[in-house]
Amino acid sequence: MKTIYSFIFIAMFGLSVALVGCGGADVSNQTTTVSEGQQLIDLQKAYKSGAITKEQYEDQKAKILDK
């Protein structure tokens, strides 16, 4: 009985080690920088298309220009 538990433990340990090696080891963070001008252009497009209200447009515009 003790040998069965030992075998199961060794098998589970081996499996866990193998799975760790398969997991997404290549994790990278990407950041994109958009210029203030491009942010304002995109904001204006959103406003003109009706996606945001005039108040939202003015608030976001002020935030962009205050940076």
Residue 14: alpha-carbon gap to chain centroid: 31
Q: What is the mean pLDDT of residues 32-37?
A: 89
The residue that leads in pLDDT, 28 or 60, is: 60
CB atoms within 10 A of CB 43: 19
Q: What is the pLDDT of residue 26?
A: 63
| Per-residue model confidence as pLDDT tens digits over 4-30 | 666 565 766 666 666 566 665 566 777
Q: How far apart, in whole angstroms, are the C-alpha atoms of residue 47 and residue 64?
A: 15
Q: Which residue has the tokens 């009706």?
A: 50
Q: What is the pLDDT of residue 24?
A: 56
Cα dihedral: 10, 15, 21, 23 (round 10) = -140
